[in-house]
C-alpha cells in the first residue's frame, strides 16, 4: 500500500494502492513509513505522492466501511481516531513536507494533501475537493479547523460549504497549492523543492516545535490577544 524510498536528503512516500482510499490498514502503513523517515538523522524532507496517475487519493474506503466481517482494510472501529491522529502527525511532522498531487484528491485525500507544508499540483487534470456536503456528511470540526488554518477565507468557504473542486492553476490562484506542474515534471520539481528545504529538517526538534506553535494546542494564531499585547508581554506566552 505504501512505498518509501530515499533520494539524497528527500524521502519519497508513494501511496501505491489503486485509488489510495483510506482504511485502517492504509493509515497504519502510512504511519510506519513516517516512523522510518522521522528516525533518520541530518537534513531531510518528505515528498508524498501516488503511483497511480489518475488519483492522489480518492478519499475514504467506502466499500470497506460498508462491508461486514474480516477485510484487508482492517479494524473499522479504530479508523476514525487513528486517521485523525495521523493527519495531526503529518501537519506537525518535524521536517519539511511536500505533497505532489498528481491526480484527484477527494475528502480524506484532500485532507492529507493540506496537512503537508507545501502542495504542488498537476496542471492538466485532477481535482482537490472536500466533498462531504455532496454525500450528506457534516464536516467534522477538526477537519474544518485544518481548512481554516490552511486556506484563505473565501477559498475556505467555497471549499467546505460549496464543495468547490480546485485544480491546476485555479488551485494555485486560490491559495490551495503553491505551484502547478505538468505530470511529466511534477515529481521532479517536488523533489527539487524538497531538497532545497531539507536543511531545515536537520533540527527535528525546532522544526517540529515551530509547527506545534502554529497548529498545536494553544496555537499562536488562535490566542485571544492581539500581537501587540503578546509582543509586549512575551513572558506570558512561553
Give the tens place of pLDDT for each residue, 4-43.
Answer: 999 999 999 999 999 999 999 999 999 999 999 999 999 9
* Least trusted range by pLDDT, from 70-84, 109-123, 145-159, 200-214: 70-84
**Lowest-confidence pick of 39-53, 57-71, 167-181:** 57-71
Q: What phi, psi does 121 have (nearest 5°)?
A: -120, 155
Half-sphere exposure of 217 (CA within 13 A, CB side): 1
E-strand ranges in the chain read 2-7, 10-15, 45-50, 55-57, 97-101, 104-106, 118-122, 128-129, 179-181
Average pLDDT, whole number, for the chain? 93
Provide mean pLDDT across the span 49-56: 96
Q: Which residues pair with 22 in a beta bridge?
A: 60
| CATH number for domain 2-198, candidates 3.90.226.10, 2.60.120.280, 3.30.950.10, 3.30.420.270 | 3.90.226.10
In this prediction, residue 231 carries a pLDDT of 72
C-alpha span between 52 and 40 (Å, rounded):
27
Banded pLDDT at 233 (limits 50, 70, 90): confident
Query: What are the residue boundaries of the structural domains of the chain, listed by start?
Result: 2-198, 204-237
CA neighbor of 180 nearest in space, from 125, 105, 106: 125
Which pLDDT score, from 0 to 100, does residue 47 have?
Answer: 98
Which of these ranges, 33-37, 81-85, 132-136, 205-209, has the smallest mean pLDDT? 132-136
pLDDT digits (tens, 9 = 90+) for 68-100: 878 888 788 889 899 999 999 999 999 999 999
- Examine the pLDDT at 238 and tell me if it is beyond 90: no
pTM: 0.93
Is the pLDDT at 228 greater than 80? The verdict is no
Contact 44, 37 (CB under 8 A): yes
Amino acid at each position: 500500500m505504501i512505498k518509501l524510498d530515499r533520494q539524497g536528503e528527500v524521502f519519497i512516500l508513494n501511496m501505491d494502492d489503486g485509488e489510495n482510499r483510506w482504511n485502517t490498514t492504509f493509515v497504519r502503513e502510512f504511519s510506519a513509513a513516517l516512523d522510518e523517515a522521522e528516525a533518520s538523522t541530518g537534513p531531510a524532507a518528505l515528498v508524498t505522492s501516488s503511483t497511480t496517475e489518475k488519483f492522489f487519493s480518492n478519499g475514504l474506503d467506502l466499500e470497506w466501511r460498508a462491508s461486514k466481517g474480516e477485510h484487508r482494510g482492517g479494524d473499522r472501529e479504530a479508523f476514525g481516531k487513528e486517521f485523525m491522529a495521523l493527519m495531526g502527525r503529518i501537519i506537525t511532522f518535524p521536517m519539511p513536507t511536500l505533497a505532489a498531487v498528481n491526480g484527484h484528491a477527494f475528502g480524506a485525500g484532500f485532507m492529507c494533501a493540506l496537512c503537508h507544508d507545501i502542495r504542488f499540483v498537476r496542471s492538466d487534470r485532477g481535482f482537490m475537493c472536500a466533498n462531504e456536503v455532496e454525500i450528506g456528511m457534516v464536516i467534522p470540526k477538526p477537519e474544518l479547523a485544518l481548512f481554516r488554518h490552511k486556506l484563505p477565507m473565501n477559498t475556505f468557504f467555497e471549499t467546505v460549504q460549496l464543495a468547490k473542486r480546485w485544480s491546476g492553476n485555479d488551485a494555485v490562484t486560490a491559495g490551495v497549492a503553491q505551484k502547478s506542474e505538468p505530470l511529466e515534471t511534477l515529481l521532479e520539481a517536488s523533489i527539487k523543492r524538497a531538497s532545497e528545504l531539507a536543511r531545515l529538517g536537520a533540527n527535528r526538534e525546532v522544526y517540529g516545535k515551530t509547527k506545534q506553535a502554529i497548529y498545536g494546542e494553544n496555537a499562536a494564531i488562535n490566542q485571544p490577544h492581539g500581537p501587540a499585547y503578546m509582543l509586549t508581554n512575551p513572558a506570558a506566552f512561553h
